[in-house]
């Protein structure tokens, strides 16, 4: 006798994908705010998207609701929030000023923004294709949320300090190109994914967190930009340190053989 089994209903887990949708909304709202010239609002929208992006994956792991759909959906959200939105913000806020120097510089401005978006897409595609085989403790290449954080905190600091944006056009272009190169590079960065939120921490650890939050509230754009810039530079600096150590070790190994 053949049993009539009901086909399993396809669907998605609500909670993690709802958070991802919230991040996607923030990224889209940031684009609208940038077009309207409200740069600070655009910055805050991307900051909220960063928080939500960090939550959706962790909540999916804590609730055991990880799916391939959620991973792909998260990457598409990241492309908008940390690729298109920061690039458009940088172009409207700063790089569009290159138009006054002629059409050549105007093309350099929007092409550099496109390179950043393409680098973000390549970074996310590479992460998705290798996330099962690479060490979870490290990222290969600068993560797109960290790159976007450098851009938005940089723009936030200039706006908050009431500096003339025109004086920083060249620096904006260099930052955008440098971040694009770091994202598609093979430089390793610590991912912080080995931190388990369910484990206990010493009381001094909680005090350090409170101290850090208090320090950030002192001057949010300056402190956050310093933190994210140091993280972006940590990869190349550690790579340089490893190269110097390797070279010094090779020299010490060759000395005994030379004496013989």
Side-chain-facing half-sphere of 173: CA atoms under 13 Å? 16
pLDDT for the residue 195: 65
Cβ density class 172-201: b for 16+ within 10 Å, e for less: bbebbebbbebbbbebbbeeeeeeeeeeee
CA–CA separation, 81 and 227 (whole Å): 20
The residue among 135 and 69 whose pLDDT is bigger is 69
- High-pLDDT (> 70) share of the chain, %: 86
Of 55-59, 111-115, 157-161, minimum mean pLDDT range: 55-59
pLDDT of residue 83: 95
Q: What is the pTM of this model?
A: 0.85
Nearest to 20 by CA among 63, 64, 81: 81
12 vs 86: which has the higher pLDDT? 86
List domains and CATH numbers for the chain. Answer: 14-66+75-249 (1.20.120)
In whole angstroms, give the CA distance from residue 224 to residue 84.
21
How far is it, in rounded angstroms, from Cα 212 to Cα 216?
Answer: 6
pLDDT band at 197 (very low <50, low <70, confident <90, very high): low
Mean residue pLDDT across the chain: 85
């Amino acid at each position: 006798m053949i049993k009539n089994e009901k086909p399993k209903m396809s669907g998605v887990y609500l909670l993690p994908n709802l958070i991802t949708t919230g991040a996607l909304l923030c990224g889209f709202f940031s684009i609208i705010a940038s077009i309207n010239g409200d740069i600070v609002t655009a910055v805050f929208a991307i900051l909220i998207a960063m928080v939500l992006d960090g939550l959706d994956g962790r909540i999916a792991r804590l609730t055991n609701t990880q799916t391939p759909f959620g991973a792909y959906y998260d990457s598409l959200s990241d492309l908008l929030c940390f690729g298109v939105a920061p690039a458009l913000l940088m172009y409207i806020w700063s790089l569009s000023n290159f138009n006054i120097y002629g059409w050549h510089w105007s093309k350099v401005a929007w092409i550099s923004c496109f390179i950043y978006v393409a680098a973000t897409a390549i970074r996310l595609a590479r992460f998705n294709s290798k996330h099962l085989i690479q060490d979870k403790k490290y990222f290969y290449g600068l993560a797109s949320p960290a790159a976007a954080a450098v851009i938005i905190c940089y723009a936030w600091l200039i706006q908050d300090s009431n500096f003339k944006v025109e004086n920083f056009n060249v620096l904006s272009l260099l930052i955008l190109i440098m971040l694009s190169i770091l994202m598609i590079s093979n430089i390793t960065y610590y991912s912080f994914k080995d931190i388990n939120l369910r484990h206990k921490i010493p009381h001094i650890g909680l005090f350090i967190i409170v101290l850090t939050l208090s320090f950030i509230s002192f001057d949010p754009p300056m402190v956050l930009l310093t933190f994210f810039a140091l993280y972006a530079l940590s990869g190349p600096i550690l790579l340089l340190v490893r190269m110097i150590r390797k070279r010094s070790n090779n020299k010490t190994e060759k000395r005994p053989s030379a004496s013989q």
